[in-house]
Amino acid sequence: MSAAGRPSAPTRAPALKILLVEDDRQLSSILLRALAEEGHAVDLVEDGGLALTRCLRIGYDVVLLDWMLPSIDGLSVCRALRAAGSTVAILMLTARTEVQERIAGLDAGADDFLPKPFDLDELLARVRTLGRRCRSARYLEAGAMRIDRLRRVAMMGGELLDLTPREFLLLQLLVSDAGRVVTRADILQKVWTPTTGGGVVEVNVKNLRTKLGEHEWRVETVRGIGYRWRDTE
């Protein structure tokens, strides 16, 4: 990895909140300094299990994820994050260069893949690209509803909704398909599992409507099929 002879820095992109998951302390020190110089806020962890916990609790923009880690490897961390519904941008860093292993990383849910050793400027450019991509896809809006996918919070008419993780995923699914019917089967598939009892959907829809208060009418029941998010009464 070389930073020598670097050209003038491009116009600085908006600062990102980044989680660096790397157990090579010499490399992590270089990356921490370079990312800080770009204006980013960076947290460092050296363990896959801790990385998973942090990502599910804190709203990061980008995760730089090493493949070979103590406790839980990067590939498993990536899979677990996607299974939990996380949409954080993930750039996997690894000494594994075989095509099949790159494919495995992308299939696990990584957004990009950078083999070691890498050029520092290339890594910073990829971080900027992922940052632009996640910013553009971060917010979901429908009428008075605004969902922040990264922070995993939702606001209705400027008021923050107190939602459980499953209620948030249910709301996000309905709002992303606003005006169209989302079947119970689709809800079970994307929020729970296909084998989960259907009653859990009704219970969570009821709870979601309660938390929406005067906006409960927005979650419309389409009898015998599923539910639809409405923007107008």
pLDDT band at 8 (very low <50, low <70, confident <90, very high): very low
- Considering the domain boundaries, does residue 10 fall inside one? no
pLDDT at 13 over 60: no
- CA–CA distances in Å: residue 82 to residues 62, 78, 100, 153, 195: 14, 6, 20, 17, 19
Identify the pLDDT of residue 4.
Answer: 41
Are 179 and 113 within one domain?
A: no
DSSP annotation of 87: -
- Considering the domain boundaries, does residue 179 fall inside one? yes
The structure tokens 């990102």 sit at 16
Structural domain boundaries, residue 61: 17-138
Are 118 and 216 within one domain?
A: no
Which segment of 5-19, 104-118, 198-212 scores lowest on mean pLDDT? 5-19
Point out which residues pair with 62 in neighbouring strands: 18, 89
Please provide the distance, in angstroms rounded to a whole number, between the alpha carbons at the two ends of the chain: 58
118: Cα within 13 Å, side-chain hemisphere: 22
139 phi-psi bin (left φ>0, alpha ψ -120 to 50, beta other): beta
Identify the pLDDT of residue 16.
Answer: 83
pLDDT band at 208 (very low <50, low <70, confident <90, very high): very high
Last residue within a domain, chosen from 138, 171, 193: 138
pTM above 0.85, yes or no: no
For the segment 21-45, the average pLDDT, to the nearest whole number, is 92
Are 32 and 84 within one domain?
A: yes
- Considering the domain boundaries, does residue 3 fall inside one? no
Identify the pLDDT of residue 19.
Answer: 94
Last residue within a domain, chosen from 89, 105, 138: 138
For the segment 95-119, the average pLDDT, to the nearest whole number, is 83
**Distance between CA atoms of 44 and 24, rounded to whole angstroms?**
11
Mean pLDDT over each residue of the chain, to the nearest integer: 85
DSSP for 9-43, please give it: PPSPPPP-EEEEE---HHHHHHHHHHHHHTT-EEE
**Distance between CA atoms of 131 and 168, rounded to whole angstroms?**
23
Which has the higher per-residue pLDDT, 131 or 222?
Answer: 222
Last residue within a domain, chosen from 79, 104, 138: 138
Identify the pLDDT of residue 41.
Answer: 87
pLDDT at 225 over 80: yes
Identify the pLDDT of residue 35.
Answer: 93
Identify the pLDDT of residue 137.
Answer: 65
3-class secondary-structure state, position 150: coil
Domain count, the chain: 2
- Considering the domain boundaries, does residue 9 fall inside one? no
Question: Which alpha helices (H) appear in the chain, and where do they start and end?
Answer: 25-37, 48-57, 74-83, 99-107, 120-138, 165-176, 184-191, 199-212
Which segment of 63-77, 81-95, 186-200, 213-227 scores lowest on mean pLDDT? 186-200
pLDDT band at 10 (very low <50, low <70, confident <90, very high): very low
For the segment 146-172, the average pLDDT, to the nearest whole number, is 87
Question: pLDDT digits over 34-93, tens only?
Answer: 999 988 889 999 999 999 998 888 778 899 999 988 889 999 999 999 888 788 899 999
Tokens encoding 211: 């938390």
